[in-house]
Copies of this chain bind each other. A is one copy, B any other.
Amino acid sequence: MDAIVNDKRERILAAASDLIVKNGLQCSMAEIAQTAGVATGTLYIYFSSKEEMVRGVYQRLTAKVGASLIVEHGPDVSHEARVRRYIDDYIGLIWADPARAILFEYLSNVPLLPPGELRRLFAPVTDFTAKVFTEARAAGVLRDFDPNVMGAYVGGGIRNTLKWRRANGSPLTEAEHRQIAEMCWSAIAGNTQEQALPGVADRQS
């Protein structure tokens, strides 16, 4: 019962996601229903309108992003390691599923969803990012810039780099992954030269 309800809702959102990636928001409700294997009218049982269904698609997306980025850190994990972990997870997340990345980029720039609403739906992720960056900054690990600015810079850089890279068709090598992470870290790392920590992996020439 409840499982079926959720299953249908999930299938509708998955179908809508696919078609939005392919054709944008002009994809028809009939096509979405057909892809999901339900009748047109069923869409309106789960969502009051197309616009609200799109909101559901975006929300589903933020949930997955949050699941990939938000992690609990034990007290033994250094701030630098937390930030580096965040960067790695972000790169992995964006590269792992091209369709998801395209959908995210598209919906984030569509006039239908105003910026204020996007920020509200995305709050769990941005809050986590702000927390990690703020604490790292307080520990002197990051620059003395606004943590939100640093978060936005790193995220935008990663997404745009991988978007360009995706067009190439070839897989992302481990070396490239490391290069991008290095750019991210250099952009926001604090000026305090404590990188000469004993035991911590140091950057090769």
The chain A residues found within 8 Å of chain B, CB to CB, are 21-26, 102, 105-106, 108-112, 115-116, 119, 139-140, 143-145, 148-150, 152-161, 163-167, 176, 179-180, 182-184, 186-194, 200-205
- Cα distance A143–B166 in the bound complex, in angstroms: 22
Contact B111 A106 (CB under 8 A): yes
- Cα distance A179–B150 in the bound complex, in angstroms: 10
Instruction: Return chain B residues, CB-CB under 8 Å to A112.
Output: 24
Instruction: Return chain B residues, CB-CB under 8 Å to A106.
Output: 109-111
Contact A160 B161 (CB under 8 A): no
Q: List 10 A-B contacts (CB under 8 A).
A: A25-B26, A106-B109, A149-B164, A149-B165, A149-B180, A153-B161, A157-B157, A159-B160, A191-B200, A193-B202
Number of copies of chain A assembled together: 2
Contact B109 A109 (CB under 8 A): yes
CB-nearest residue of chain B to A148: B164
List 7 additional contacts besides A144-B203, A156-B157; criterion CB under 8 Å.
A149-B164, A149-B165, A156-B163, A186-B187, A193-B202, A194-B204, A194-B205
